[in-house]
């Protein structure tokens, strides 16, 4: 195995990390086909979105203009109708006022006669009738003939005058209404003309925007072509760089690139360069595997010896356990015999005690004291 030169400071580690980061960024940039080849025209998409929004805004403005025009026309018609109704009401009030002021029955020349004939009280004259002269006479014979016809003729004349006034008023109203209608139509025509002019202006603006968009599209196509050529140039350069990296000693993992001679020759032996070393050779790996196999066999042999030693110790413990069990069994048998012997001795003592008690009770102490024996004591002063 080779010896590894440990760096004195962290500059080598920093350089290795920097190269690794640069290599990772380069691979992410080169091997990402979607971003490198396909791409996405964000400007064209944004322009399409803006055109759609502008078209929708124009349609909304047109609809709002027509709605405002319709509302304005309705307001004008409602105002005209209201003014016409107000004029009619004013004419009716003027007619009623004129009749009440100018055509009263009390203001006629023969009002007193008509009132007197109708049964009214008439004029009260404080002078007696005998003192009145011919000049005070109010009604003469022959007067009043044809009064009804006259009144009818006067009423017809009044009706004709009123009808003429009403016709004249209606004519004036029609003329005013026609003028207002013509004025409203003229306003509507002006509004429509303004809407048409606005639409034409919007069309002109739209045509200008379309021309500008076409110019922008041409410019964008030219920019896209330039970008494509630049991208092709960069891709060629990057592919050359990739080819160089693929065929270089870093990616091919050439073991000689990671070795260097120490002390100017093969005497010192090869050393490993940490920033270029890519792993061990098959010979080194086989040596490591062989050594690992030897270590495994040695461990297996040691485990077998340990197992045999454990088995011997287990057998020894088993023999010792059997001997201990045998001694314990013998001790228990001896203890049992001693207990049996003690039981026999105790039984013999008990039997002897019973025999002694029987001797005392049946042989030795046969004369038992009576009551007379006990009463003889303390019976006298002696």
Can you give the pLDDT at residue 379?
A: 59
pLDDT for position 121: 42
Residue 73 CB: number of other CB atoms within 10 A? 15
**Residue 253 near residue 279, CB atoms below 8 Å:** yes
Kindly report the average pLDDT of the chain as a whole number: 79
**What's the pTM value of the predicted model, to 2 decimals?**
0.24
Q: What pLDDT sits at residue 154?
A: 81
CB 274 within 8 A of CB 16: yes
Asked if residue 12 lies in contact with residue 274, where contact means CB atoms within 8 angstroms, the answer is yes
Report the pLDDT value the prediction gives residue 179, as an integer from 0 to 100: 86
Contact 24/31 with Cβ under 8 angstroms? no
Query: How far from the centroid of its chain's Cα atoms is residue 142's Cα?
Result: 109
Provide the CA 113 distance to its chain's centre, in angstroms. Answer: 98
> 147-247 and 42-102 are packed helices; what angle lies between their axes, rounded to 10 degrees?
170
pLDDT (tens digit per residue) in 295-351:
999 999 999 999 999 999 999 999 999 999 999 999 999 999 999 999 999 999 999
CA 94 to chain CA mean position, Å: 71
pLDDT at 368 (0 to 100): 73
Q: Which residue pairs, CB below 8 angstroms and at least 24 apart, start in 350-355?
A: none
Coil, helix or strand for 271?
strand
| Residue pLDDT tens, the chain, 382 long | 444 455 556 788 888 999 999 888 888 777 766 655 555 556 767 888 888 889 898 888 888 888 888 888 888 889 888 898 888 888 888 888 887 777 776 666 666 555 544 444 444 556 666 666 666 666 555 555 566 777 778 888 888 888 888 888 888 888 888 888 888 888 888 888 888 888 888 888 888 888 888 888 888 888 889 888 998 988 888 888 888 777 766 666 666 666 654 454 444 455 666 666 666 778 888 999 999 999 999 999 999 999 999 999 999 999 999 999 999 999 999 999 999 999 999 999 999 999 998 888 888 877 777 777 777 776 554 4
pLDDT at 265: 47
CA dihedral 255, 260, 265, 270 (to 10 degrees): -60
pLDDT of amino acid 299: 93
Give the C-alpha distances (Å, rounded to integers) separating 243 from 18, 31, 235.
21, 13, 12
* pLDDT of res. 39: 56
């Amino acid at each position: 195995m080779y010896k590894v030169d440990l760096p004195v400071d962290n500059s080598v580690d920093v350089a290795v990390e920097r190269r690794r980061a640069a290599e990772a960024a380069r691979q992410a940039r080169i091997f990402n086909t979607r971003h490198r080849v396909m791409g996405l025209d964000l400007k064209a998409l944004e322009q399409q979105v803006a055109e759609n929004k502008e078209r929708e805004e124009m349609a909304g403005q047109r609809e709002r203009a027509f709605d405002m025009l319709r509302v304005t026309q309705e307001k004008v018609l409602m105002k005209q109708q209201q003014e016409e109704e107000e004029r009619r009401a004013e004419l009716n009030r003027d007619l009623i006022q004129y009749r009440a002021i100018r055509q009263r029955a009390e203001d006629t020349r023969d009002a007193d006669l008509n009132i007197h004939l109708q049964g009214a009280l008439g004029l009260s004259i404080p002078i007696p009738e005998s003192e009145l002269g011919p000049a005070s006479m109010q009604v003469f014979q022959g007067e009043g003939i044809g009064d009804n016809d006259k009144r009818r003729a006067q009423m017809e004349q009044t009706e004709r005058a009123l009808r003429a006034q009403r016709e004249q008023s209606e004519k004036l109203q029609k003329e005013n209404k026609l003028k207002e209608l013509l004025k409203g139509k003229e306003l509507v025509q002006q509004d429509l003309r303004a809407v048409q002019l606005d639409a034409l202006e919007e069309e002109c603006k739209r045509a200008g925007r379309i021309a500008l968009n076409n110019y922008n599209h041409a410019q964008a196509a030219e920019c896209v072509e330039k970008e494509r050529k630049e991208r092709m140039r960069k891709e060629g350069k990057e592919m050359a760089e990739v080819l160089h990296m693929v065929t270089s000693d870093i990616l091919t993992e050439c073991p000689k690139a990671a070795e260097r001679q120490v002390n100017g020759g093969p005497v010192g032996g090869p050393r490993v360069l940490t920033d270029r070393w890519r792993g061990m050779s098959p010979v080194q790996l086989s040596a490591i595997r062989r050594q690992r196999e030897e270590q495994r066999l040695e461990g297996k042999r040691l485990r077998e010896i340990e197992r045999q030693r454990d088995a011997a110790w287990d057998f020894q413990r088993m023999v010792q356990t059997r001997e201990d069990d045998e001694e314990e069994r013998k001790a228990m048998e001896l203890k049992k015999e001693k207990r049996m012997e003690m039981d026999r001795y105790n039984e013999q003592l008990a039997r002897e005690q019973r025999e002694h008690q029987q001797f005392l009770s049946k042989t030795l102490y046969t004369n038992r004291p009576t009551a007379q024996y006990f009463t003889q004591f303390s019976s006298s002063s002696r």
